[in-house]
Amino acid sequence: MKIITENRKARHDYTIEESFEAGIELKGTEVKSMRAGRANLKDSFAVIENGELYLYGMHISPYEQGNIFNVEPMRPRKLLMHKKEIMRLLGKTKEQGLTLVPLKAYFKKDKIKIELALAKGKKLYDKREAAAEKSAKREIEKAMKERSRDF
């Protein structure tokens, strides 16, 4: 599995409840551009419209040798999942107020897949608390490493 791009900001801004794998419908030059690693998931999100799943805000840079075959970099892209899974996601997003956020894009065999997450937005104090925990953990590990060096 080769990772094309990751949405690191998503893990900072949201608490991840559950994650899913979805295929993505792309045009020809978009695939070539993604093979070159020229994609960005920052500020992207997924929405269910008319029983279909769409990804908004994903930027795929135009392929340099693509000329007339290039498409708009920020166009909405259809995500491919089973109807039953989409209906389950629809129920969770409506009922519990969760958001669908893409975490990463990667190659699985020859196909490009998107890892989608059901996520709940963090409040500012949650973000501060997470940062404080992370720095405390880092300090503890540093102290343990120094302590083990002394012996």
**Model pLDDT for residues 43-87, shown as the tens digit of each residue:** 899 999 998 999 999 999 888 887 777 888 889 999 999 999 999
| Contact by Cβ (8 Å): 39, 61 | yes
Query: What domains can be seen in the chain, in order of their start residue?
Result: 2-123 (2.40.280.10)
pLDDT band per the 50, 70, 90 thresholds, residue 101: very high
